[in-house]
Amino acid sequence: METNQKENAPTNVVGKPLDRVDGPAKVTGAARYSAEISVPGTVHGVLKTSTIAKGRITGIDTSRAAKEPGILNIFTHENLPKPAKTPKQIEKWRAAQSYLPMQDNQIQYAGQPVALVVATTLEAATQAAALIRVTYQAETPIDSYHDPKAELFDPQKIQQGKKDGHVVRGNPQQAYNGAAVKHEATYVHAINHHSPMEPAATLAVWEGADKLTVYEASQNVTMHQGNLAELLGMPREQIRVVTKYIGGGFGCKGSFWPHTILTVLAARAVNRPVKLALTRQQMFTGVGHREDQEQTLKMGATAEGKLVSIVHTKKATTSPWDNYTESNGKVMDMLYACENYSTVYELARANVMTSVWMRAPGEAPGSFALESSMDDLANQLNLDPLEIRLRNYADYDHSNGKPWSSKSLKQCYTRGAELFGWSKRNPKPGQTRRGKLLVGHGMASATYPVHSSQGTARVRLFADGHAVVEAGATDLGTGTYTVMTQVSADALGLPPEKIRFELGDTRLPTAPGSGGSVAAGTVASSIMAAAEDVWDKVVKMAVADKKSPLYKAKPTDVKVELGRMFLSKDPKKGETLLAALGRSGQPDIEGSGTGKYGAGYEEKNFGQNGANQNDDKQKPGGHSMHSFGAHFCEVEVDPDLGTIRVTRWVGVHGAGTVLNLKTATSQMTGGAIYGIGAALMEDTFRDPNFARYTNADLAGYHVPVNADIPNIQVEFVPETDPYINYLGVKGIGELGMVGVAAAVANAVFNATGRRLRSLPMTPDKVLEALRLPA
Amino acid sequence: MPGPTTPAPLNPDGSRRTFMKQAGGFLGLALAPPFLSQAERLTALSKKVEGVSTISLKVNGTVRAIRAEPRVTLLDALREYLDLTGSKKGCDHGQCGACTVLVDGRRVNSCLTLAVMSQGKEITTIEGLAKEGGELHPMQAAFLKHDGFQCGYCTPGQIMSAVACVQEGHAGSEAEVREWMSGNLCRCSAYPNITAAILEAKGQMG
């Protein structure tokens, strides 16, 4: 058996633009999301949340609420049963926020749960929640890092102590001071909310005192199970978390939030299954957000435009308890060839819940600053934006000195420029008009790391020619069901309709959640490892079977490709897995395996030969692993109204093996649009006096609608990468969004001659910029 | 606790006439002379519709009765009382379009519609779009082919809206489809694929 896979395995179904296998269920309404699971006896939970952002509860009057029909209980901090442990007491707490509300009378943020009503109907629970009267002793809250009352502090470590708050390479300040060309600018990013279409939901079903099933809108069932086990003081295996379908997440459903445990505790107390879905308004104060932040970026370059220094600082708002902030610096550390680099994070505590990873956390706002500054430098030096990027092209990863496992950024630039017609762009800003509209063209680079991850899978091949493949992953709409069906089909040599791939259940083998773009590569590798286990067993059967063409062959001389076993030296001599299994009389055969993604895969298959990386997720490995891409954008700016319309988009990416061209293209298209939303309209506004959101719904928080979006052209350049995982897959969940806001801002600069450095680029900001001289 | 209830007559054919009788309460109020005080008008309203009653809904061609309060929205009636969970709750405020269903052929946000007011009308949900036997409606097939969705949560609303968009004659061009489909949010942002699907299905809807 050849397990040391030096080249990516041959494929048949993998890569094809197969329709989604879960598509029929989704277009007919048959797909059931977490709040739609039908469990007899289910009752409804509704949260009541605080109207103040800081202070304490002085009284809760539930008398009127209790008169609603069908009320089973109204829980407050006074009567809600306590969990075995609070997050603060849990050493391995796996979530951004460590604060659990409803444990005492303290209020730390607006929208914090203060009561949970359980009733037989949703209407009664909703009405009762409205009728509860809560009185508060309010204090003046702090709304953000720019509140005069806020105190910026140096967190030393960020993200629960997992990442350094200071990163320094070389001598960045000195290099900056001596640079021939200098550029310094500050970039502001508004608060953004993930806003998946499906609100967060929990359906908690207790079977006795020590067995719990939770249907949760979860990007990571293993994480939810682990945290619940700790909070409840129960063994993991007594808790089952199920997520068969999830209506988007974008990060917010990949962390653990208060409503889940509150619902579970309430369900135990009322002895009924309890279903609780956050309202859309509660989605703005219930599941995190991308934090409000500003970055100051100083870049020094030679007269030829070669970077000599990048000095980056970030200020951001965090919660009263946690030091979460996105690591914007990592993209600046590695995207270009630059010997001197530093980043420093400063945080301020405010009365807000803890922010959390949101699609391309760090890379999205970080690339906005970096790629806008690069555009400015290009303009300053009279260079084409593509040219300055090529002059600073990193042939290896300067953040750690390692060679790339693969990198196709130059091909992305070339192909993107060709598709877009970049050579026809007028380099002079403010010169191109279409009627009264100003037209501009801009571009930016994209990149995202291959994080190290691993998972397990089980493959059961039946002699009748079908297979069941299982891994406890999730499908956010990312296509996991579909692409894993394709991977399984090729691993076993079966048509995809003969594969049933199951996911989203802690009873299945443990797999990573959907986050950090690790799911596709990890689960695919796990399935291949499990399939190899099946191959091994069937090969052993075949070499011992007189009727097999492989009879008496050494198992190590046998190779398996696309479900067929054959002699490595004489490929004609062989047979299918199914032929051998069929003769054995066994109805089926089962295999399991652990697959690795990223550095762990390289280490296992290629040995250790590299330096440590400045990231706990990255184990020692020889190569630096990233996907890359390039965005090209055309905008029209209305000089009278200040409106910006994106009219054309081209994105070209190098992301290793593409498992399904159709779903991958859709995901990259969606990434670009998600980025356009952040660039042009997404802004949750926190009132500076009350620290409450003033636009916490989908009428006030604008996300792109169909009419906002032109056709988006996406291509992948062919790329083979033997180091990252069995099939050479790089995740694409985040990549498509990185650099998008900068590409838009750069196009706006080309259209107007004005540089907008505050997101979103709303008409008021555009008009203000246009009033000032270019 | 709710007051005594008078169950509405079960209405097996879901005819409009019965609906009009029940709606008479509302209609009467709307036409009530101005000398009636606001309080009297509200009293009349609460008397008419208070408490749990039988509500008959004709959904996908079949009349089904539920016992529910008048404050139950059509969306919650479908999802929580009839176990038709294809219609989705994204915002409950008519801001996202995930709950879109057809009522007498028109697209409506079922989260902004009371179930009690939907009696006697033809309600079509995503579950009623495919033919018996499972053959997909051309719009469903086009969404599948063009990958007009990712997570699938907005999809039933998009498809119901898309069917109406074509029937209204608002699918004449790419730009027109985009405009008339902008009441349905898709956070995965399958918009270009949704538009392509609608333009294709239009030709097959006859």
**Chain B: residue nearest A30 by CA?**
B86
Query: What SS3 class is residue A562?
Result: coil
Q: For A247, which of B136, B141, B152 is closest by C-beta distance? A: B152
Of A247, A662, A705, the CB nearest to B153: A247
Please tell me which residue of chain A has the smallest CA distance to B160.
Answer: A27
Give dist(CA B134, CA A390) in Å, integer. Answer: 54
Whether the predicted pLDDT of A1 surpasses 90: no
A-contacting residues in B 80-99 (Cβ below 8 Å): 80, 83-93, 95-96, 98
Task: Give residue B11's pLDDT.
Answer: 40
Q: How far is B20 from chain A (nearest CA, A)?
A: 25
Q: What is the dihedral of CA A746, A750, A756, A762, to 10 degrees?
A: -100
Q: How far is A382 from chain B (nearest CA, A)?
A: 36
Instruction: Give me the DSSP letters along A5-41.
Output: --SPPP-SSTBS-PPPTTHHHHHTT----GGG---TT
Of chain A, the end-to-end C-alpha distance in Å amounts to 66
CA A410 to chain centre: 26
Average the pLDDT over A699-726 and give the result: 96
This prediction's pTM: 0.93
Distance from CA of A241 to the nearest CA of B (A): 19
Which one from A68, A575, A603, A734 is the annotated catalytic residue? A734
Task: Please tell me whether residue A48 adopts helix, strand or coil conformation.
Answer: strand
Rounded to a whole number, what is the distance in Å from the CA of A754 to chain B's nearest CA?
29
CA distance A674 to B178: 17
- Read off the pLDDT band of A160 (50, 70, 90): confident
A382-451+619-774 CATH pick, 1.10.3860.10, 3.30.365.10, 3.30.420.80, 3.30.70.2860: 3.30.365.10
Lowest mean pLDDT among A599-608, A610-619, A653-662: A610-619
| pLDDT tens digits along A257-303 | 999 999 999 999 999 999 999 999 999 999 999 999 999 999 999 99
> Beta A453-462 vs B122-124: how paired, if at all?
unpaired
The tokens describing B70, both together, are: 């008048």
Beta strands A564-567; A163-164: pairing state: unpaired
C-alpha of B65 from chain center: 16
Q: Around Cβ B39, how many Cβ atoms within 10 Å?
A: 8
Cβ contact (<8 Å) for A69 and B1?
Answer: yes
Nearest CB to B189 within list A24, A26, A673: A673
Residues A665-707: pLDDT tens digits? Answer: 999 999 999 999 999 999 999 999 999 999 999 999 999 999 9
Q: Average of pLDDT values for A388-410?
A: 97
Contact B189 A30 (CB under 8 A): no
Q: To probe the interface with B, which of A18, A19, A26 has the most B CB atoms within 10 Å?
A: A26
Q: Which residue of B has its CA nearest to A198?
A: B90
Give A11's pLDDT tier (boundaries 50, 70, 90): confident
Task: Using a CB–CB cutoff of 8 Å, tell me whether B3 touches chain A.
Answer: no
Q: For residues B154 and B193, is the Cβ–Cβ distance under 8 A?
A: no
Distances from the Cα of A188 to the Cα of A284, A294, B1, angstroms: 20, 4, 53
Residue of A nearest to B178 (CA): A707
In the predicted structure, residue B15 carries a pLDDT above the cut 50? no
Please name the residues in contact with A683: beta carbons below 8 A apart, sequence gap of 6 or more: A190, A191, A192, A695, A701, A702, A759, A760, A762
For A443-479, the pLDDT digits (tens) are 999 999 999 999 999 999 999 999 999 999 999 999 9
Q: Which residues pair with A715 in a beta bridge?
A: A652
Q: Could you give phi then psi for residue A61, rounded to 5 degrees?
A: -105, 110
Q: Which of residues 140-159 of B touch A (CB under 8 A)?
A: 140-141, 143-145, 147, 149-156, 159
CB pair distance less than 8 Å for A250 and B187:
yes
- Given a cut of 90, whether residue A483 has pLDDT beyond it is yes
Cα of B69 to nearest chain A Cα, Å: 8
* SS3 state at A109: coil
Q: Sort strands A467-470 and A274-277 into parallel, antiparallel or unpaired.
A: unpaired
Exposure of A309 in the CB half-sphere (CA atoms within 13 A):
21
Half-sphere exposure (Cβ direction) of A406: Cα atoms closer than 13 Å: 26
pLDDT at B22 over 50: no
Q: Is A618 exposed, middle or buried (0-12, 13-18, 19+ CB in 10 A)?
A: buried
On the question of pLDDT at A188 being above 70, the answer is yes
Chain mean position to CA B175: 26
Do domains A2-31+453-597 and A34-141+194-284 share one topology? The answer is yes
A197 → closest Cβ in B85, B96, B143: B96
Per-residue pLDDT for A634 more than 90? yes
Nearest to B85 among A32, A662, A698 (CB): A32
Q: Say which of A33, A197, A712 has its CB closest to residue B187.
A: A197
Q: How many CA atoms lie within 13 A of A144 on its CB side?
A: 20
Q: Which helix (DSSP H) or strand (DSSP E) does residue A764 occupy?
A: helix A763-771
Average pLDDT of the segment spanning B164-174: 98
Report residue A615's pLDDT band, with 50, 70 and 90 as the boundaries: very low
> Cβ separation of B150 and A666 shorter than 8 Å?
yes
Q: Are strands A758-759 and A181-189 parallel, antiparallel or unpaired?
A: parallel
- Phi, psi at residue A702, to the nearest 5°? -85, 125
Q: Which two tokens stand for residue B206?
A: 């006859």
Minimum distance, in Å, between the CA of residue A671 and any CA atom of chain B? 8
Query: Per-residue pLDDT tens for A509-526?
Result: 999 999 999 999 999 999
| Contact criterion met (CB < 8 Å) for B85 and A29 | yes
Pair A649, A713: CB distance under 8 Å: yes
d(CA A289, CA B187): 15
Tell me if A706 and B186 make a contact (CB, 8 A cut-off). yes
Given a cut of 50, whether residue A4 has pLDDT beyond it is no
Helical segments of A178-256, H only: 221-232
pLDDT on residue A60: 98
Is some CB atom of chain A closer than 8 A to the CB atom of B44? no
Task: With beta carbons under 8 A apart, name residues in chain A contacting B87.
Answer: 29
Contacts of B60 in chain A (CB under 8 A): none
Chain B hits for A245, Cβ within 8 Å: 151-152
B185 in contact with chain A, both atoms CB, cutoff 8 A:
yes
Q: Tokens at residue B76, please?
A: 């919650």
pLDDT at B101 over 50: yes
Q: Which domains does chain B have, with CATH numbers?
A: 5-90+114-125 (no CATH), 138-202 (1.10.150.120)
Selecting from B95, B126, B182 the residue whose C-beta is nearest the C-beta of A706 gives B182
CA distances from A321 to A12, A64, A361 (A): 51, 35, 20
Question: What is the distance between the alpha carbons of residues A59 and A136, in angstroms, rounded to a whole number?
Answer: 7
Which residue in B90, B120, B105, B116 sits closest to B188, CA to CA? B90
Residues A181, A380: Cα–Cα separation, whole Å: 9
CA–CA dist A141, A320 (Å, integer): 11
Write the pLDDT tens digit of every residue in A213-254. Answer: 999 999 999 999 999 999 999 999 999 999 999 999 999 999
What type of residue sits at position A671? Answer: G
Sign (positive/negative) of CA torsion A196, A198, A201, A203? negative
Banded pLDDT at A608 (limits 50, 70, 90): low
Q: Which of A682, A675, A684, A683 lies closest to A747 in space, CA to CA?
A: A675
Chain A residues close to B194, C-beta within 8 Å: 706
pLDDT at A164: 87
- CB-count exposure of residue A659 (10 Å: 0-12, 13-18, 19+): buried
Residue in B99, B188, B193 to test binding to A, most A beta-carbons within 10 Å: B188
Q: How many CB atoms lie within 10 A of CB B104?
A: 12
Q: Which residues of B touch A710 (CB under 8 A)?
A: 192
Reply yes or no on whether the pLDDT at B201 is more than 80.
yes
Which residues, including other chains, have CB under 8 Å from residue B38's CB and lie 6 or more apart? none
Mean pLDDT computed over A349-363: 98
Distance CA A241, CA A223 (A): 9
Rounded to 10 deg, the angle between the A221-232 and A258-270 helix axes is 60
From chain A, the residues in CB contact with B160 under 8 A are none
Integer Cα distance of B128 and B142 in angstroms? 17
Residue B96: list chain A partners with CB under 8 A.
Answer: 197, 280, 698
Q: In what order do the strands lie in the sheet with B122-124?
A: B62-68, B53-59, B122-124, B100-103, B106-109
Tokens representing B18? 């019965």
Alpha carbon A61 to its chain centroid, in Å, reads: 41
Say which DSSP state A503 is in: -
A684: helix, strand or coil: strand
- Which residue of chain A comes nearest to B152, CA vs CA? A26
**pLDDT tens-place string over residues A303-337:** 999 999 999 999 999 999 999 999 999 999 999 99
Phi (first) and psi of residue A437, to 5 degrees: -80, 140
Cβ-based contacts of B136 with chain A (< 8 Å): 24, 27-28
CATH match of A2-31+453-597 with 3.30.365.10: yes
Q: Is A607 left (phi over 0), alpha (psi -120 to 50) or beta?
A: left
**A-chain residue closest to B72, CA distance:** A123
Q: Which of B155, B179, B193 sits opposite A26 (nearest CB)?
A: B155
Q: Is the dihedral of CA A550, A556, A560, A566 positive or negative?
A: negative
Of residues A585, A503, A492, the one with CA closest to residue A221: A503
- Residue in A with minimal Cα distance to B84: A29
pLDDT band at A10 (very low <50, low <70, confident <90, very high): confident
Task: Return the CATH number of the domain spanning residue range A34-141+194-284.
Answer: 3.30.365.10
CB contact under 8 A, B91 and A33: no
Separation CA A139–CA A689 (nearest Å):
11
Q: Is the peptide bond before A760 cis (omega within 30 degrees of 0)?
A: yes
User: Residue B145 and residue A19: Cβ atoms within 8 Å?
Assistant: yes
Q: Where are the domains of chain A?
A: 2-31+453-597, 34-141+194-284, 382-451+619-774
Residue A36 annotated as catalytic: no
Test mutation, B1, B153, B177, chain A, max A CBs within 10 A: B153
Distance CA A233, CA A226 (A): 10
Candidate from B68, B149, B178 with C-beta closest to A707: B178
Cβ of A29 and B136 within 8 Å?
Answer: no
d(CA B68, CA B47): 16
Q: Is the pLDDT of residue A376 over 90?
A: yes
The encoded tokens of residue A284 equal 């703005």
Residue B5 predicted with pLDDT over 50: no
Sheet of A574-576, strand order: A558-561, A564-567, A574-576
pLDDT tens digit sequence for B55-95: 999 999 999 999 999 999 999 999 999 999 999 999 999 99
